Structure 1
Amino acid sequence: MLKYRLITALILIPVVIAALFFLPPLAFALVTLAVCMLAAWEWGQLAGYVERSQRIWLAIICGFLLALMMLSVPAYHHSVHQLMIGGPLWLSLVWWLAALLLVLFYPRSAALWRNSRPLRLIFGLLTIVPFFWGMLALRQFDYVNNHFTGAWWLLYVMVLVWGADSGAYMFGKLFGKHKLAPRVSPGKTWEGLIGGLVTSAVISWLFGRYAPLSLEPMTLLICSIIAVLASVLGDLTESMFKREAGIKDSGHLIPGHGGILDRIDSLTAAVPVFACLMLLVF
């Protein structure tokens, strides 16, 4: 399993970086749209739709909704302050605060949504739609002046989340004793969380010093810490829904890594939260 994970990571990481820096905005948006459709396909299982035909329709409807939202934004005006772009980013803050309560009070909180497919579908939309717009908003940030500025910001968020996840894993293995959320994800510990935050702080300092990120160091650090905490919440939230659905992985599309949602669960929270803080709050 570890061998497959390493091989897949060595293949996917260069592909992701190349897509960030070399795809034009429209092509990048279409690739992100395809990823979101695959995520919607997998979320269908978490929402209780086990039939293949049902999940295909969910993916198609999700893709159509996102495409319709894209077409409603004028091609010449992709400002984050547009309601169609900024709205989902603000909504992401509300949703992840609500998700925090669901995780904190699980399994009692599951009584509110366990038997409601429509509510679980809404949770999926609140996860996928802001992620989509967070990816596009960061990628197109200052695109007119520098085509690569947004790519650096997206790369930063991804490395931040991946680094925090790796740091949490290592610190948790070495020092983990106190469970973070035993009812949701027994493997996560408070020691791992602290280790992930320390790792993310180091990454933030290195990127702020050596990468072309034009943001005050303290502001960058605040946005980064909140984004990392959001990434942990994203992971826990998906674990909660998988536990209720009785499945280990959201899918089997990526060898050794499970499904698309298993790989982007942390990013679905970190990307829109970071984009909202950086582009709208600060």
Structure 2
Amino acid sequence: MLKYRLITACILIPIVIAALFLLPPVGFALVTLAICMLAAWEWGQLSGLGSRSQRIWLAILCGLLLALMMFTLPAYRPYATLWQVKSVLWASLAWWLAALVLVLGYPGSAALWRNSRPLRLIFGILTIVPFFWGMVTLRQHHYDLNHFTGAWWLLYVMLLVWGADTGAYMFGRALGRHKLAPKVSPGKTWEGLIGGLVTSAVISWLFGKYAPLDAAPLSLLVCSVIAALSSVLGDLTESMFKREGGIKDSGHLIPGHGGILDRIDSLTAAVPVFACLILLVFNAI
């Protein structure tokens, strides 16, 4: 399994970086939309949609919703200045605070949504739609001044998340003794969490030193720490829904990694939370 994970990662990471820097905003948005549709297909299983046709319709409706939003917004204005996008990013911040409460209260909190398919579908919308707008909003940031500014910011967030995930795995395997959330994800430990945050901090320092980022240092530090913690929450939240549904992997599209949601669960929280904080709360870039 580890062999397949490493091979797949070595293939996917260059493709992701190339998409960030080589695709224009519209092309990048379309690729992100396709990823979100695949994520919606997989979320259908977490929501209790048993038939293939129901999940296909969920993916199609998700794609239509995102496309409708995208093509009804004025193209000449930065997304971060539009009330529609701002509302989505603020809603994301509220949702992940609520998700934190659900994870901390699990399994008791599952009584609130276990038997409600509409509520689980709403949770999916609040996860996938803000992820899309966080991605495209950061990618479009200052595109008129420098085509690569937004790409650098997205790469920064992704490296934070990958660093937190890799550091948590390595430190957890070597030092892990105290369970972080045993009822949700028994494999995660406090030692792994701390190791992941340390790894993210090192990446943040190196990236800030050598990459062309321009942000208020204190604001960037706060946003980065919260984004790294949010990435852990995103992972735990998906684990909670999978555990409740008796599902090991959200899908089987990526060899050794499971489904699309299994790969982007951390990013679905980290990207919109970081975008909301850095662009709307602190207005730091």
Q: Please report how far the alpha carbon of residue 2 of structure 1 lies from its aligned counterpart in structure 2 after TM superposition.
A: 1.2
Aligned length: 282
Q: Please report how far the alpha carbon of residue 75 of structure 1 lies from its aligned counterpart in structure 2 after TM superposition.
A: 1.3
Q: Give the match's secondary structure for 2:186.
A: strand
The alignment's C-alpha RMSD in Å is: 0.7
Task: Give unpaired runs (5+ residues) of structure 2.
Answer: none
* Matched residue, 1:264: 264
Percent pairwise identity: 79
Matches within 5 A, 1:74-89: 74-89=74-89
Q: Determine the C-alpha separation between the residues in 2 that align with 1:61 and 1:98.
A: 25
Amino acid in the other structure paired with 2:7: I
Matches within 5 A, 1:102-251: 102-251=102-251
Amino acid in the other structure paired with 1:133: W
Does the CA-based 8 Å contact 1:204-1:220 persist in structure 2? no
Q: 1:73-117 CA distances to partner (integer Å, 9 max, x unpaired)?
A: 111113312122111111111000000000000001000000000
Q: Please report how far the alpha carbon of residue 138 of structure 1 lies from its aligned counterpart in structure 2 after TM superposition.
A: 0.4
Q: Determine the C-alpha separation between the residues in 1 that align with 2:173 and 2:240.
A: 22
Q: Determine the C-alpha separation between the residues in 1 that align with 2:155 and 2:109.
A: 35
Q: Could you list the structure 1 runs, at least 4 aligned residues long, displaced by more than 3 angstroms after superposition.
A: none
Does the CA-based 8 Å contact 1:181-1:188 persist in structure 2? yes
Q: Give the match's secondary structure for 1:80.
A: helix
Does the CA-based 8 Å contact 1:179-1:186 persist in structure 2? yes
Q: 1:42-80 CA distances to partner (integer Å, 9 max, x unpaired)?
A: 000000002110000000000000011111211111331
Q: Please report how far the alpha carbon of residue 219 of structure 1 lies from its aligned counterpart in structure 2 after TM superposition.
A: 1.6
Task: Give unpaired runs (5+ residues) of structure 1.
Answer: none
Q: Please report how far the alpha carbon of residue 3 of structure 1 lies from its aligned counterpart in structure 2 after TM superposition.
A: 1.3
Matches within 5 A, 1:40-51: 40-51=40-51
Does the CA-based 8 Å contact 1:66-1:129 persist in structure 2? yes
Q: Determine the C-alpha separation between the residues in 2 that align with 1:174 and 1:222.
A: 28
Amino acid in the other structure paired with 2:21: F
Amino acid in the other structure paired with 2:12: L
Q: 1:127-178 CA distances to partner (integer Å, 9 max, x unpaired)?
A: 0000000001100011000000000000000011001110011111111111
**TM-score, normalised via structure 1 length:** 0.99
Q: Determine the C-alpha separation between the residues in 2 that align with 1:81 and 1:146.
A: 18
Q: Determine the C-alpha separation between the residues in 2 that align with 1:64 and 1:138.
A: 21
Q: 1:185-207 CA distances to partner (integer Å, 9 max, x unpaired)?
A: 00000111111111111111001
* Matched residue, 1:63: 63
Q: Please report how far the alpha carbon of residue 30 of structure 1 lies from its aligned counterpart in structure 2 after TM superposition.
A: 0.3
Does the CA-based 8 Å contact 2:78-2:141 persist in structure 1? no
Q: Give the match's secondary structure for 2:146.
A: coil
Q: Determine the C-alpha separation between the residues in 2 that align with 1:161 and 1:170.
A: 14
Amino acid in the other structure paired with 2:109: S
Q: Determine the C-alpha separation between the residues in 2 that align with 1:249 and 1:79.
A: 34
